[in-house]
Chain A
């Protein structure tokens, strides 16, 4: 399974990156290919390409603020959670998505 994700928090200094790291780390552990874009104080990094999005089964938005360029995900299945949730219980989050998608 392939997922794409965006992480963003109000100050864009810490939680954005912790959430990204946690999703990537947990994805590796669970055998889920997950590509994460961060929208932090340094702007958009590791920006998702149109191909990344097209090939992904779903989009995970671990955000505490509105996402930039949200229209890229129009028509995709979107799971919106808080960055804290991604940091605290990434396994539960990914397991829930996996079962929801019926995979």
Chain B
């Protein structure tokens, strides 16, 4: 029996070791063969081998075909399809994988000071200064001995035993680790170690009597390194380091001359910046991180597991910095800027001062961001919209709060079931939900009950194969038949809710009947707990997801059974248009800006509000900045999104006018074509800034200690960033310099007007700096500058309003009275008043 399916590969980073591990795990449970074919490049793989899967160089949107041959192939095939298309995209943690932004210009001070410096790729932000600790090149590759010393059977047995023992060690270390990224990397290592193709290759070499076990392991690693090395994907090439790391350690275990080739552990002498050619992930894990101030790897790429681990720890790092090892002396004073990818040995005092100021600006930025993160989500005209995060693991909570999430709009409990052979019991679940409650800090957390079914099969939940799982037996539809499983979960949530603000939400409800039945289950869970005398909170809010059009049309009556609603936009979208989003041929039909979909959403929100119920949205649309005015205009009370989108959405929300958004949505709903709705959205812009919106006391410094043009532009960019008016200060600074390069902005009269138009600028702004001692500026009249007005304008044509204000300001600057007023002003408020008046002229 065979089953075959085709799809476009959904993960943005391609098929790398971690998803491949999960696919392999699922494939291994199938008795027959599972073949993977990447139809873009024709590469084929045994899906029961992680290495083989990874070697197919499958990238996002690649057309792929998977074929299963064996008993019950269709059931296993559907499970695999759902894993690939539904589950894996939810597990990708984009923030931790994402390589840092491309390097911006190196600060001008380096060239001006004639400083020697090295540039690599930014691999972990932060500025540190510490002595260098050099870890020389690793031992030369050892071939692991000549021939086998024992018969092949004995060598193979030794290999299997050592691999199993090492797997046990890694698994134990993974279970002990409190660091999520570290656990994920160790799990990927485990998958390589247990890989079928890897073991097969090793045993093949042993059987050929060419090598003993240790040598065979190293040779097999060479083989896969070669396969992956041929890949155009840097991400896959960097997995070679993982394979070699494991092979060396395994060879060392197997004794023989290969023992020498295992990377030694590194003992750091004190607080240092560690320099190495490359570092195996296992070496990094064993480092004393309390002494590791920064990391520079000459050869590694930014997505190597070592650097992913380093970023997860918040340690500044630079990757791919050729020649740096031979040019730095051990113990040399080194300045490292991980955000810019810079390594500066023995920095001169002005260079050190520049970077110290930069570090201070960075600290201020983080503090400012933290302070802002605590503010509630609100539009400019005061409409409250709660900005929450979607998570699947209690460990993501701290990160979500740091980003400014005001709650969790969706906690996906089915991820607790993944990779398990039995359902977690009531105590185990209670402990997990209680952890959410304990770490909530009083913020609401919506726990969605298990969303499982034909498309998300579980080993302990035998479900029939379905021709069309997305229209099949899933979510709440299973609750009647698997009432025991759901009752355990409901009891666990009710118990945990005694210690924190948890809410319950059920998935996939399509009818009022289902909600009546779900309510009955909740009542039963409550009375069971009451009968047992177990402490719990009986009045937990009970809501439902709106994912099915029938539910969307019945919200006014469903409000009899649900305390709140949350739109699951991914499913509602595909159900509304009868278009599978995993199917590239029809995916384009399901457009969120289609007026039909907007009307559907609007009817949900209006009906919920008419019944006094709040309504949120927890699909991918919530985190899309472009759609934010639409979602605000529709009237959603809460938007829940991936945690990494929270800060940006919150900032943008503050610039929107809810009334204008409502008018926008009305216009969009009246459109017929998607394009018409899109044009209305594109034409919609937040109202231009008022004259006094361009400047604020936070953008004024009357006692600037900047001594050079370098420091002035640095300070100005940091002011804009700290005030939330610009994204990256480095980019603004670079843009100011680019303008400065064309000709000096010193306009004479002791005044300079550095200015720039940059995509990094969020809102048109004027900064004012008055200097303690005048700064040389190459002004046209040769005078040094004691006053600088810095103008920053967002890129693009849409901001003509602010250009007009800046033109006015420029005109005012040629008038002496205005300049004298700025010089005499007693405080920042007076400067703001003077500049605002000039702008309003």
> Contact residues of A with B, CB < 8 Å?
10-11, 13-18, 20-22, 25, 38, 40-42, 64, 84-85, 87-88
Contacts and interface: CB of A to CB of B under 8 A. Distances in A.
A15 B748 CA distance: 12
Contact of B755 (A11, A42, A87): A11
Given A84-B780, A88-B748, A88-B780, A64 B743 contact: yes
B803 A42 contact: yes
A3 to B, nearest CB: 18
Contacts of A14: 745, 747, 753, 755, 791, 806-807, 810
Interface in B720-754: 739, 742-743, 745, 747-748, 753
B172 interface: no
9 contacts: A11-B756, A13-B793, A14-B753, A15-B810, A18-B747, A18-B810, A18-B811, A41-B793, A41-B803
A13 B806 contact: yes
A42 B804 contact: yes
A53 B804 CA distance: 25
B327 interface: no
A84 B748 CA distance: 9
Given A25-B815, A42-B804, A87-B747, A13 B810 contact: yes
Nearest to B753: A14
A46 B365 CA distance: 42
- Which 4 pairs from chain A and chain B are nearest by CB? A21-B811, A17-B810, A17-B807, A14-B810
B739 A38 contact: no
A65 B812 CA distance: 23
A28 B757 CA distance: 33
B755 to A, nearest CB: 5
A22 B818 CA distance: 14
Contacts of A41: 757, 793, 803
A88 B781 contact: yes
Interface residues of B, number: 26
A29 to B, nearest CB: 12
A88 B814 CA distance: 9
Contacts of B268: none
Nearest to A90: B814
Nearest to A86: B814
B61 to A, nearest CB: 39
Contact of B807 (A10, A22, A38, A64): A38
Given A14-B791, A15-B810, 20 more contacts: A10-B743, A11-B755, A11-B757, A13-B757, A13-B803, A13-B806, A14-B745, A16-B807, A17-B807, A17-B810, A18-B747, A18-B810, A25-B814, A38-B807, A41-B757, A41-B793, A42-B807, A87-B780, A87-B814, A88-B780
B611 interface: no
Contact of A40 (B745, B781, B803, B812): B803
Contacts of A17: 807-808, 810-811
Contacts of A20: 811
Contacts of B807: 13-14, 16-17, 38, 40, 42
Contacts of B811: 17-18, 20-21
A64 B781 CA distance: 18
Interface in B806-833: 806-808, 810-815
Contact of A21 (B742, B791, B804, B810): B810
B675 interface: no
A85 B793 CA distance: 25
Nearest to A20: B811
B790 to A, nearest CB: 11
B587 interface: no
Contacts of B745: 14
A42 B781 CA distance: 28
Nearest to A40: B807
B794 to A, nearest CB: 12
A18 B803 contact: no
Nearest to B801: A42
A18 B813 contact: yes
A45 B797 CA distance: 16
B780 to A, nearest CB: 4
A17 B806 CA distance: 9
Interface string B762-781: 00000000000000000011
B803 A11 contact: no
Contacts of B793: 13, 41
A16 B810 CA distance: 9
Interface string B284-302: 0000000000000000000
A84 B743 contact: yes
A91 to B, nearest CB: 12
A54 B621 CA distance: 59
A15 B747 contact: yes
Contact of A13 (B755, B780, B813, B815): B755
B800 interface: yes
Contacts of A16: 807, 810
Contact of A11 (B739, B747, B804, B813): B739
B257 to A, nearest CB: 66
Contacts of A40: 803, 807
A10 B753 CA distance: 14
B222 to A, nearest CB: 56
Nearest to B799: A41
Nearest to B807: A17
Contacts of A84: 743, 747-748, 780
A46 to B, nearest CB: 11
A84 to B, nearest CB: 4
Contacts of A25: 814-815
B814 A22 contact: yes
Contacts of B756: 11
A13 B747 contact: no
Nearest to B781: A88
A99 to B, nearest CB: 23
A11 B814 contact: no
A25 B747 CA distance: 16
A11 B742 contact: yes
A87 B748 CA distance: 8
A40 B804 CA distance: 10
A64 B739 CA distance: 13
Contacts of A18: 747, 810-811, 813-814
A3 B209 CA distance: 97
A70 B429 CA distance: 77
A17, A38, A42, A85: which has the most chain B beta carbons within 10 Å? A17
Contact of B791 (A13, A42, A64, A88): A13
A88 B781 CA distance: 7
Given A17-B810, A25-B814, A42-B807, A10 B780 contact: no
Interface string B120-132: 0000000000000
A28 B826 CA distance: 33
